[in-house]
Each structure stands twice: as C-alpha cells, then as structure tokens.
Structure 1
Amino acid sequence: MSELEENKEEQMLKGITGMTCIYVPVNDVYESIKWYQKNLGYQPSNNELVEPGMVTAVMNFPDRNGNLPLPGLRQVVPALFLHKSDEEGGRLRFSWSLDSGKPHAIACFITPRIEELYNRFRENGVNILGERVASGPNITFADPDGNVWEVWQP
C-alpha cells in the first residue's frame, strides 16, 4: 500500500464509523420501554432504573449472546433514546409523495426472520401500516406514539 493510500485510509477512520443512537419522542417512557422490549427485543441499558414517571431511557439491542453493548463502541443496531415529548414535538415519520403521502419510516431494521416478526407483531397488536416485497419483504409499522419504522429481510 502506498503512503498516499495509507494516509487516505487513516483519514477515513477519523470520520463517521457508525450510528450509536436514535432519539425517539414518546408520551410515556415506561410504557414505551415495555413495547420496545416486547416487539423488537430492545432492552434498557444495564444501569437503567425502569419505573413509571421516567422522562428518558436508553434502550439497546442485545448481541447474539444476550449481552448489551458497551457504550461508544460500534453497534450493528443503534440504541434508542426514548424521551418524554409533547405531541407538538413531532414524531419520527414523514410523508413521501411517491408513497401517496402515507407516513414513511424514518429508519429500517433488518431481520433474517421477517415472517416470525410479522406474526409477533400481529399477536401483539402492533399497528402494521404496510407490507411490500420489493428487494426483499418488508413491514412498515408504528409504535403506540405514531413513530414509524420499517423492518426488512434482505
């Protein structure tokens, strides 16, 4: 590798290396924690005291062994920071004219087992907004606060 190539690679490492979190506005942090645990498998961070009346919570996605990631390290799935917010503060969604103005997801999760996830969503009464098969099946859904997400199976 030439000196120029090494320098370029070193500069790239100083840039963005991943995404650590998404801030999610919710009405009730405590109830949202339970919803994200039940439906997506997110867990409160190890040092999080979970109780009614909370105004913020950090939710992480456990690794294959059930361990929560260490803060600041690269994560495959970003942490969710649930924050109590007024409805006027907005929700995670936007409308897209190519999709007939329907609410569009702000982020997309990946799963190798979308059919199992779909069945869990149906059993749990998750608000499923749409299903498609484009470059793999996907499901658009909303949490109880109207935050719109998508999950895709490549």
Structure 2
Amino acid sequence: MKVGKIIGIAYNVIPVNDVEQSATWFVKHFGFNIRNRREGYLSLFRENRPILDLIQSENDTRAVFEVNNQKRWVITFFTNDILSLHNDLKTAGVNVRNISDEGKYGKFFVFEDLDGNLFDVWEHHDCELIY
C-alpha cells in the first residue's frame, strides 16, 4: 500500500489589489509567464513550473507577519546570482533592502512588491533545490 507524502511545494498564493497590474510587475522583473487566468486570480510560472498564484483581495491583507514589531516575509525565492538580481531590481526602482551575507547560511535580501507583500531572496551554493 502506498502512503502519500508531501514531496514539495506546488505554488504559493499571495493577495494583491489588482491581479493584472501585479502580474505585469512580476513578469517584468522576474520573467514569469502567466497561466490559468480566471476572474480575480491567475498563476505565474517559471517555464513549466508554478511559482505564485495571485488572488485579488477584498481587503488590505498582505503576505507578511510581524516578529518583534518587524515585518517578515512568508516566501523565499532562490537565485544563483544575488548581486545581479539585487542590482537589476534596485535599478528598476523596486523597494529592496541591502544584501545580507550570513556566511554558511548564504546571502539574502528582501524586496517589496506593488502591494506591500514582502519576499526574501536567497543565494546558497551548497544547497540542492529540485525544481
């Protein structure tokens, strides 16, 4: 008998004010492609891999939480070139925080989307991610 197991995360859902405007922003900055467009909802993919689902929120809910009065993110993206990505986003006017080098844990930075959702970006060369 097979036992079902979680083998990964399929995608993450984030709330946005305007699905189309947010999708355009993510496509511009990260090269995602749009799929599964429905009323108030769409999916963003990297090639054939689902990444984010954007859902139009009826209130001011954001994908953030607080620890010690500091806003935190719920999603971390992975990159193989954090310096270039950080520079590209900063040059494009995206609200990005400074890169933090945490040694054996890798390098990180946080950015904010159009709706105030926070995302973490991580570069680590000793970690295997299977897509």
TM over 0.5: yes
Question: Is 2:2 the counterpart of 1:25?
Answer: no
- Alignment length (residue pairs): 122
The residue type paired with residue 31 of structure 1 is Q
Provide the identity percentage. 28
Stretches of structure 1 that go unaligned for 5 or more consecutive residues are 1-6, 63-67, 70-77
Stretches of structure 2 that go unaligned for 5 or more consecutive residues are 125-131
CA-based RMSD: 1.9
For residue 110 of structure 1, the aligned residue among 73, 78, 102 is 78
Relative to its length, the structure with more strand (as a share) is 2
Instruction: Determine helix, strand or coil for the equivalent of 1:120.
Output: helix
The residue type paired with residue 56 of structure 1 is Y
Write out per-residue CA displacement over residues 114-144 of structure 1, whole angstroms, 9 at most, x where no aligned residue: 1110111012111113431112221101101
Using the size of structure 1 for normalisation, the TM-score is: 0.71
The residue type paired with residue 70 of structure 2 is K
| Segments ≥4 residues shifted beyond 4 Å | none
Instruction: Determine helix, strand or coil for the equivalent of 2:99.
Output: strand
Question: Is 2:38 the counterpart of 1:42?
Answer: no
Using the size of structure 2 for normalisation, the TM-score is: 0.83
Distance 1:17 1:150 in 2: 22
Question: Is 2:115 the counterpart of 1:145?
Answer: yes
* Deviation for aligned residue 1:92: 0.5
Aligned to 2:127: none
Relative to its length, the structure with more helix (as a share) is 1
Distance 1:105 1:129 in 2: 13
Aligned to 1:56: 41
Q: Give the conservation status (yes or no) of the 8 Å contact 1:130–1:141.
A: no
Q: Quick check: which has more Rg, 1 or 2?
A: 1
For residue 96 of structure 2, the aligned residue among 124, 128, 140 is 128
